[in-house]
Amino acid sequence: MAALTITRERGGWWHAYVCPAHGVELDHGDLLGDPFPRAGAACRYGCRVDTEAVRGARTVLAHQAAAQRLRHLACGGPAERSEALRLLLEYAELYAALPSTHPGAAGWMLHGRLFHQALTEAIWAVAVSHAIRTLAAHRDMRAELAALLPFLRSLGDRAGEARAELRHKGEIRSNYTAWLAAAETCCRSAALAVEGADPDTVQLAGHYGLFEHMRVAMHEDGWEWEGSTYYHLFVLHAYLLALRGGEPERLPGDIAEVLGAMITALAGIATSAGTLPALHDGPYRREAQSAEISEVATLADQLFAGAPLAAVALAAGKDTATELPADLVGWFTGPRLPARTVRRTFPDAGYAVFRTAGIHALLDAGPHGGGHGHLDKLSLYLYADDGTAWQPDPGQVPYAHRSFRTHYAGTKAHPAFRVDDAEQAPCDAVLDGDTGRCTGAYDGVSAVRRIVTDPRYLLDILVLEADTERLLTAQLRPGTDLDVVAQGPDRARTVWGDSQSAVMTGQHVSSPPAEFTVVAHPGPADDPARTCQGVDWSTTGRHAVFVSVYQSAEATPPVRRLSLSERTVHIDLADGTVATHSIGR
């Protein structure tokens, strides 16, 4: 392999690495071997994009890839370790020559030096510091590594300054804080290792505010306060990387509980095959995120017994060719903590998971989630046990694509409810067992969604009440093929999936009769240019009940008919039995 050459260009904002026409992330190419393409960065649809923002975004990706490569080199033989040292000294020289802040950063950003954002710089610094710490295990290299101590000090100081700025703004819960505190902890740990000391990462994590962040940014049910799968993983990754070499049994009791709850929260929402729903902001499917999930799962399995994320790691591994960093072996010292119980209901975040009849369902009925929340209250997401995304949370595009970002954060992109064809207002819903309630999405409108599980089917009852006559709509937003058959003015049948995926059937009925209209909508956010077929199920009035019953194709006996009386749902099954359920309004 040719010697690695690091770019001396400063990085921008990776979210700008997106096709303006199609909303897809641009092709990375060989970040460590290839310069920026002469014709421009490629889009999967054939576009070529060359702007200053796109070049800066690719430079971010190149620096981050170089930092990960340094972690691998540091674990290699003498030649690889010497190469890692050479590159680290180059980075130290480059960083020392930079002005204190990046002049190209937007005004809203927390400025970095090598990158637009201090957050990006902290992520890079964590990887760089781990490479240095790995090299420091070789006593014969410590004299040369001492030249990197000012570099580590500068990286840690910059992260500390940015963290202090967030504290001054009252934004201590920000996900940035987790990575800034992790960078401070990791840089100091690496410096101590170079000096020949044994870093006490548990003590350092407390000193640099990592534990403080865990205590203020997590719900009691284990979810990061924004309720985003991506940002939950993001901060958990920072925590685990910062605690390298720590003894699990020395963690403060409440911190061990937070980490255990965060890990089991991911296990709780995952399908049996390990698919993680992309709740709120975050990529729907991205190779780099799959690599991050694999690393988090590997570290989690070293911290807690019971391999809580084994299925998640297996699923993520199918979506990434990135090799796990070689330094992960023996990340923690001492025995693992006892296994935690996986839960399926999260009252603080407002998520409830239901598994029955081959269906994995998730009801979203919680807080808005701040800047990373979506206008999606009472959405119902439907997956197969094998991970087929019949009706997924669609995720989010890279943030620089403003129109698609607005779309994917909006109501029309989600299997939620809508009134008068308008977007929901940012608001909180409340989860009460198997029922979600929302009164703040539209003035004068209350919504209740209840999920009923039976070994034979999953039942969805959505009731909308308005104080005046309004256009009331329930939305179906498939991520797979959808076939629709109208069966009368108040009912329809649907088939989800195809011969290459798991298949689900749906029976749908409403009161009063509502139009079950097929509509086109952008598919999940990994490919916004792909059009999917969905349904807007609408009626005008002050009251509407929308009822659906779902089964996987393998479930028996099949549902033959779904009907409503004034207060009751009737489900006729092929074996001659009739199940009834209260509408509950």
Q: For residue 92, what are its two tokens?
A: 């130290």
Range of the structural domain that residue 41 is part of: 1-173
Whether residue 492 lies inside any domain: the answer is yes
Neighbours of 301 (CB within 10 A): 17
- Domain-terminating residue out of 173, 201, 229: 173
Residue pair 124/179 in contact (Cβ under 8 Å)? The answer is no
User: How confident is the model over 564-581, as a mean pLDDT?
Assistant: 96
Q: Which CATH number do you get for residue 452?
A: 2.70.98.70
Is residue 448 within 8 A of residue 463, CB to CB? The reply is yes
The phi, psi pair for 244, rounded to 5°, reads -55, 130
Residue (of 32, 126, 140, 127) closest to 81 by Cα position: 140
Beta bridge partners of 512: none
List pLDDT tens digits, range 420-462: 999 999 999 999 999 999 999 999 999 999 999 999 999 999 9
The pLDDT score that the predictor gives to residue 105 is 83
CA dist., res. 473 & res. 110, Å (int): 41
Residue the block writes with tokens 């086109």: 520
| Domain count of the fold of the chain | 2
Residue at 423 is within a domain: yes
Q: Residue 289 contacts by C-beta under 8 Å, 6 or more apart in sequence? A: 230, 233, 282, 283
Using one digit for the tens of pLDDT, what is the confidence trace for 66-90?
999 999 999 999 999 999 999 999 9
Q: What is the mean pLDDT of the chain?
A: 96
Q: What is the pLDDT of residues 296-317, one digit of tens each?
A: 999 999 999 999 999 999 999 9
Compute the chain's Rg from CA coordinates: 25
pLDDT of residue 2: 60
**Residue 19 belongs to some domain of the structure:** yes
Instruction: Give pLDDT, residue 108.
Output: 83
Report which secondary-structure segment, H or E, holds 113: none
Q: With 80 as the cut, is the pLDDT of residue 585 above it? A: no
Task: Write down the pLDDT at residue 488.
Answer: 87
In 97-174, alpha helices (H): 118-136, 142-145, 149-168
Give the number of residues written for the chain.
Answer: 585
In a domain, 369, yes or no: yes
261 belongs to a structural domain: no
Phi, psi of 471 (to 5 degrees): -85, 115
Q: Alpha-carbon dihedral of residues 448, 453, 458, 462, nearest 10 degrees?
A: -10
pLDDT of residue 287: 94
Dihedral sign from CA coordinates of 414, 417, 423, 426: negative
In a domain? residue 534: yes
In a domain, 236, yes or no: no
Residue 135 included in any domain: yes
Instruction: Choose one of 173, 195, 230: the last residue of a domain.
Output: 173
Residue 25, class by beta-carbon neighbours within 10 Å (0-12 exposed, 13-18 middle, 19+ buried)?
buried
pLDDT at 157: 97
63 has a pLDDT exceeding 60: yes
d(CA 567, CA 18): 50
- Determine the average pLDDT of the residues in 537-546: 98
SS (HEC) of 537-584: EEEEEEEEEEEEEEEECCCCCCEEEEEECCCEEEEEECCCCEEEEECC
Residue that terminates a domain, selected from 173, 199, 228: 173
Q: What would the pLDDT profile of 5-49 be if each residue is shown by its tens digit?
A: 889 999 999 999 999 999 999 999 999 988 999 999 999 999 999
DSSP 1-53: -PPP----SPP--GGG-B-TTT-PBPP---TTT--S-TT-EEPTTS-EE--HH
Q: Are 273 and 309 in contact (CB under 8 A)?
A: no
| Residue 297 confidence (pLDDT) | 97
